[in-house]
Amino acid sequence: MHKPDKDTIIHYLKTLQSEIISTFESIEPKEKFIYKPWPYSKGEGGGRMAHLRGEVFEKAAVNFSAVSGPALPFNESKGSFFATGVSLITHMQNPHAPTVHMNVRYIETEEKFWFGGGYDLTPMGFPYEEDKTFFHQIAKKTLDPFDLKLYPQFSKKAQEYFFIPHREKERGDGGIFFDHYNTGDLKNDFALWKAIGSSFTETIMPIYEKRIITPYTDQEKEIQNELRAHYVEFNLLYDRGTKFGFKSNGNPEAILSSMPPSAKW
């Protein structure tokens, strides 16, 4: 079985992390991301967290990790594993600017390998249909050159995955989501995966540039915090990435960086 070159994948992910950080910092007037490396205590490798607390981004995290160990969580495949990826979250000062999440990951075991990830948009009480339409248009534009069937498939998977059962609602405005992706065409699969990661800033930056200057009230900030509570509930109860991180003995600070700086129940 021919597998992707790990060094090539890691180089792409580290470059992607740096590019996203630079893009976010371009709209943050004073603060910069703070970097914090961490070692993987239960195997080899580790990661680099990058966190920001600023005037535009109340909290943002853009994290990279690459770890290997003796056994993959959830018994998905036997033998040792290697897992790497970039994961990010934003929680904005302005309630009219939505939270956004993105993750691209690659996982390899002795038996198989696959790609996964996606991105999704979550307004915190103030949805704009034009923002949702734009976000999905960029996702579709990214996927269509590979296969016209992919956007409908990945969008539907996002609707199903980013659903809060006890609230009986989607977490937000959806996006794209895919996992265990391996068609047998390594070159094409790798190109698709990279295209998704590299298109992320195109989906969100025009939205942020428009919404971060919208006036807001203290009452609207309260509404934002109430919706953030739903985000916390999903990530702690249902999110696979959170569960995978803890099951694989990952860094708790990095795993929980998706939590908002404040929330209200």
Catalytic residues: 101
Helix intervals (H) in 77-185: 129-143, 150-161
How far, in Å, CA of 200 to CA of 210, rounded? 17
Cβ partners under 8 Å of residue 30, min gap 6:
54, 55
If you write DSSP's letter for every residue of 41-59 in order, what string do you get?
TTSEEEEEEEEE--SSEEE
Q: Sign of dihedral through CA atoms 218, 221, 225, 226?
A: positive
Per the listing, tokens 């579709």 go with 140
